Amino acid sequence: MKVTFPDGSSREYDAGITLNQVAQSIGPRLAREALAAVVDGSLADMSTAVEDSAKIRFLTFQDEEGVDVFRHSSSHVMAQAVKRLYPEAKLAIGPPIQDGFYYDIDVEERISETDLARIEEEMARIVSERIPFTRKVLPRQEAMELFEKLGEDYKVELIRELEDDTVSVYWQGDFVDMCRGPHVPDTGYVKSYKLLHTAGAYWRGDEHNKMLQRLYGTSWFDKKDLKAYLDRLEEAKKRDHRKLGKELDLFSILEEAGPGFVIYHPKGALIRTILEDFEKREHLKRGYQIVVGPQLLKLDMWKKSGHFENYRENMYFTEVEDTQYGIKPMNCLSHMLIYRSKIRSYRDLPIRYFELGTVYRHEKSGVLHGLLRLRGFTQDDAHLLCTPEQLNGEIRGVINFVKDVMGVFGFEYEMEISTRPEKSIGSDEDWQRATEALKQALYDEEIPFSVNEGDGAFYGPKIDVILKDAIGRMWQCATVQCDFALPERFDLEYVGQDGQRHRPIMLHRVILGSIDRFLGVLIEHYAGAFPAWLAPVQVKILTITDRSANYAQSVAERLIHEGFRVESDLRNEKIGYKIREARLEKVPYMLIIGEKEAAAGAVAVRHREDGDRGLASLDRFIGNVRAEMLPPVLE
RNA sequence: GCCGGGAUAGCUCAGUCGGUAGAGCAACUGAUUCGUAAUCAGUAGGUCGGCGGUUCAAGUCCGCUUCCCGGCUCCA
């Protein structure tokens, strides 16, 4: 029989040869590194015998599927260790995930993070035993009986729901798990792993179900890669915006003031203001009009919009003089009221209202997380009202706006479309049209996207933009939501060319999303070292001795006059100490001033990254850095 | 909201068996006038998250509670 490989080459083998033997015939390195294979499009274990001519692709840790197989096998090794230590533990599911794997386990005893070391030791034993993973295909009924006998209730439940007549199970010595596979040849492959933490997780992700104990781990083919990954985690920890926010004195979130509410200190408030000014300018340039709505609106308004019915549990309410009010969790209401304040013609459209709107949402206590998840935050929100003919162009305009702004910060991004959720308003037909409009805009812009079924807002489907930061982490910020329902509820109209009244379509959209969250993401993206235009202090003047203080002050005055943000350190401290402090504050430029500089009317320039840049006249320094000190202006 | 862990000086953290709290950095005072990542000495600083209980005695043990951290669910 003939086996064809991905490069198009082929070889002849006797029928019945195993994939492992095929790999060996090609080379010892492949035989060592192959984890599983794809045979005519389906995944298979290396021990699988090949009976007919086939196309074969071997999977190593270099392939995405290979990594998944490897991590999946790792989770089985962990599960086996857990069963040795906790024989009554019932296993739920144990899939591979980004950078690792987990297993959900139902066991009476609490497994703490210190127990993870014991489980790791047991895993080491299992790895050194090099136990083969053996696949068996059982009739459904037989598999059900097997797991019933073992008391594996969750597996039984899973099997019961399977459509197939047969179920594959994998044995590792005396440990058995129901599993589609494939797996690596034996447990000896899983040499480089670490268990990271424990967590609670609902069975099947449903908060009405029992909470299981989830054990998270990571595993890599190579020890080096494990080390690199653990270093990456350390790096992420160093960039944590909550830690940097405190160190750089940007903001605080205090128990006494209320959870989920940020208090911006001068430097944090300054960065926010710079971002907001940048946004206002860019919006005005793109034909948006800045508007401002009130923080509270009468409850009736929220009933009319559907927020009271669909979003109540996230809202704050208050009562004044026997009238009930809702504190705004979104900005759309005022914007619709402005639209409705006079008769609109098709000639007026599109209308784009922009508001840096501060909203309050009652988020569940367990979800709050620094600036990334707050109960009060400010959105760079806009509502675009347009005709059906304009819809495509408006969506594309927003997408391009997002593209331009993300370029400024150096983010790559992916896009995702979310469709109608269960709790929602509007007709199916409108949802269909809205979803199509979003898709069409992405096709037209040639932007690939994934689809997230049932994840839209209650009033319409949306495009979410997922950013990728400097160390590869993903964040959700921008979103565009297409809405036919609210214009209907608020009876928004325009007079068309035909003299008839028509319903406009509304787009809800944010670019940065929440300014607060975006700032948190930026802190982590830049590791606190903001580009000069965003840095709260752009230049720090450091004197060698107090004999240069007068000259240093004149330099500071000049720079402030030029519009730079400047601080001076005139203390009687050694220069090394002052540099160290300025570096910890991540100030982009340090100007070192001694008698030499004073005599020459110059400054010694030091950059936070490259260090000493040598002497320059003050004028030359100003000329060189002016451009990077100013906010970018987009085309 | 749920599961697990935690809260000690401004910050980072130690505190043994229950016996009335400690370090480094920061702050303050003094000395030092110094050339590219930490000068030296001294002083001050605490309702041990909050409330209650056990005890002769609680930072330490128990209960409740608030907030934080890691997840789950949810989300800008």
* Tens-digit pLDDT profile for residues A557-577: 999 999 999 999 999 999 999
- Say if residues A61 and A35 touch (Cβ distance below 8 Å): yes
Establish whether A21 is a catalytic residue: no
User: Which nucleotide does the CA of A102 lie closest to, via C1'?
Assistant: B71
Catalytic residue among A83, A194, A462, A565: A462
Q: Is A386 labeled as catalytic in the residue annotation?
A: no
Average pLDDT, chain A: 92
Does A114 have pLDDT greater than 80? no
Question: Which nucleotide minimizes the distance between its C1' and the CA of A542?
Answer: B36
Residues of chain A with CATH 3.30.930.10: 259-295+328-525
| Alpha carbons A403 and A396: distance in angstroms, whole number | 10
CA-to-CA distance for A508 and A479, rounded, in angstroms?
A: 8
Q: Would you state the structure tokens that stand for residue A58, as one six-digit string?
A: 């071997």
A216-253: per-residue pLDDT in tens? 999 999 899 998 898 888 888 889 999 999 999 999 99
Using DSSP, state whether A138 is helix, strand or coil.
Answer: strand
pLDDT at A533 exceeding the cut of 90? yes
Sorted by sequence, the CB contacts under 8 Å of residue A94 that are 6+ apart come out as A72, A75, A76, A78, A79, A101, A102, A103, A104, A177
User: Distances from the Cα of A161 to the Cαs of A156, A164, A574, in angstroms?
Assistant: 9, 9, 72
Tokens of A463: 């495009």
Distance CA A17, CA A13 (A): 7
Residue range(s) of every CATH 3.40.50.800 domain in chain A: 539-629
Q: Residue A110's pLDDT band (boundaries 50, 70, 90)?
A: confident
Report chain A's C-alpha Rg in angstroms: 30
Give the burial string for A300-334 (b: 16+ CB within 10 Å, else e): ebbebbbbbebbeebbeeeeeeeeebbbbbbbbbb
Q: Of residues A332, A386, A477, A482, which has the active-site annotation?
A: A332
- Give the CA-trace dihedral at A226, A228, A230, A235, to 10 degrees: -170
Q: What is the dihedral of CA A622, A625, A626, A631, to 10 degrees?
A: -150
How many other CB atoms are found less than 10 A from the CB of residue A126? Answer: 22
A256/B20 CA-to-C1' distance in Å: 29
Instruction: Please report the ipTM that was assigned to this predicted complex.
Output: 0.93
A381 catalytic? Reply is yes
CB-based contacts of A490, cutoff 8 Å, min separation 6: A304, A305, A336, A337, A340
Query: How confident is the model over A436-457, as a mean pLDDT?
Result: 92
Q: C-alpha distances in angstroms, A539 versus A246, A247, A605, A626?
A: 21, 18, 10, 12
* CATH number among 3.30.70.260, 3.30.980.10, 3.40.50.920, 3.40.50.2300, domain A65-238: 3.30.980.10
Q: How many CB atoms lie within 10 A of CB A395?
A: 25
Contact A219, A192 (CB under 8 A): yes
Residues A20-43, mean pLDDT to the nearest whole number: 89
State whether CATH 3.40.640.10 applies to domain A259-295+328-525. no
Note if A455 is an active site residue. no
Catalytic-labelled residue, pool A104, A381, A430, A469: A381
CA of A110 to C1' of B16 (A): 26
- Within A240-265, residue ranges assigned H as helices are 241-247
Nearest Cα to Cα of residue A455 among A422, A501, A480: A422
A112 has a pLDDT exceeding 80 = no
The nt closest to A377 (CA vs C1′) is B76
Please tell me which residue lies nearest to nucleotide B37, judged from CA to C1'. Answer: A580
Question: What stretch(es) of chain A map to CATH 3.30.980.10?
Answer: 65-238
A209 band by pLDDT with thresholds 50, 70 and 90: confident
Instruction: Give Cβ neighbours of residue A442 (< 8 Å, ≥ 6 apart).
Output: A399, A415, A417, A448, A449, A463
User: What confidence score (pLDDT) does residue A198 get?
Assistant: 85
User: What pLDDT, on a 0 to 100 scale, did the predictor assign at position A425?
Assistant: 85
Numbered ranges of CATH 3.10.20.30 in chain A: 2-60
Q: What is the DSSP letter of A503?
A: P
Confidence check: pLDDT of A113 > 80: no
pLDDT at residue number A493: 96
Identified catalytic residue from A379, A390, A481, A538: A379
CATH of domain A2-60: 3.10.20.30
Number of H helices, E strands in chain A: 20, 35
Q: Give the pLDDT of residue A42.
A: 87
Is the pLDDT reported for residue A525 higher than 90?
yes
pLDDT digits (tens, 9 = 90+) for A412-445: 999 999 999 888 888 888 889 889 999 999 999 9
Q: Give the nucleotide with minimal C1' distance to the Cα of A247.
A: B11
Inter-residue contact A45 to A18 (CB < 8 Å): no
Which of A150-154, A496-500, A509-513 is predicted with the least confidence, judged by mean pLDDT?
A150-154
Residue from A241, A272, A335, A383 carrying the catalytic annotation: A383
| Peptide bond before residue A28 is cis, with ω within 30 degrees of 0 | no
Known active-site residue A332: yes
Instruction: Give the CA-to-C1' distance from A416 to B46 in angstroms.
Output: 52
Distances in whole angstroms, Cα of residue A356 to Cα of each of A31, A41, A275, A633 = 59, 51, 11, 19
pLDDT at A249: 93
Nucleotides of B under 7 A from a protein CB: 1-5, 11-12, 31-39, 66-76
pLDDT grade for A13, boundaries at 50, 70 and 90: confident
Span CA (A191) to C1' (B62), Å = 44
pLDDT at A207 over 90: no
User: pLDDT tens, A378-420?
Assistant: 999 999 999 999 999 999 999 999 999 999 999 999 999 999 9
User: Can you give the distance from the CA of residue A614 to the C1' of nucleotide B42 in angstroms?
Assistant: 39
Integer distance in angstroms from CA A113 to C1' B55? 33
Residue A473: the pLDDT is 84
Q: Distance (Å, rounded) from C-alpha A422 to C-alpha A407? A: 35
Q: In whole angstroms, what is the distance from residue A171 CA to residue A37 CA?
A: 19
User: Tokens standing for A205?
Assistant: 């992700």
A574 closest-nt by C1' vs CA: B34
Residue with smallest Cα–C1' gap to B4: A199
First to last CA, chain A: 62
Percent of residues, chain A, with pLDDT higher than 90: 67
**pLDDT mean over A484-498:** 94
Closest residue by C-alpha to C1' distance, nucleotide B34:
A574
Q: What's the rounded mean pLDDT across residues A49-75?
A: 90
Render pLDDT for A590-604 as a digit per residue (tens, 0 to 9): 999 999 999 999 999
Residue A111: the pLDDT is: 82
pLDDT tens, A250-304? 999 998 889 999 999 999 999 999 999 999 999 999 999 999 999 999 999 999 9
CATH class belonging to A539-629: alpha beta
Task: Look at A332 and A427; give whichever has higher pLDDT.
Answer: A332
Residue nearest to nucleotide B7 (CA to C1'): A255
* Rounded distance between C-alpha atoms, residue A394 and residue A438, angstroms: 10
pTM of the model: 0.91
Token digits for A51? 């009976």
Helix then strand then coil, in percent of chain A rounded to 5, is: 40, 30, 30
Q: Choose the weakest-confidence range: A193-207, A245-259, A362-376.
A: A193-207
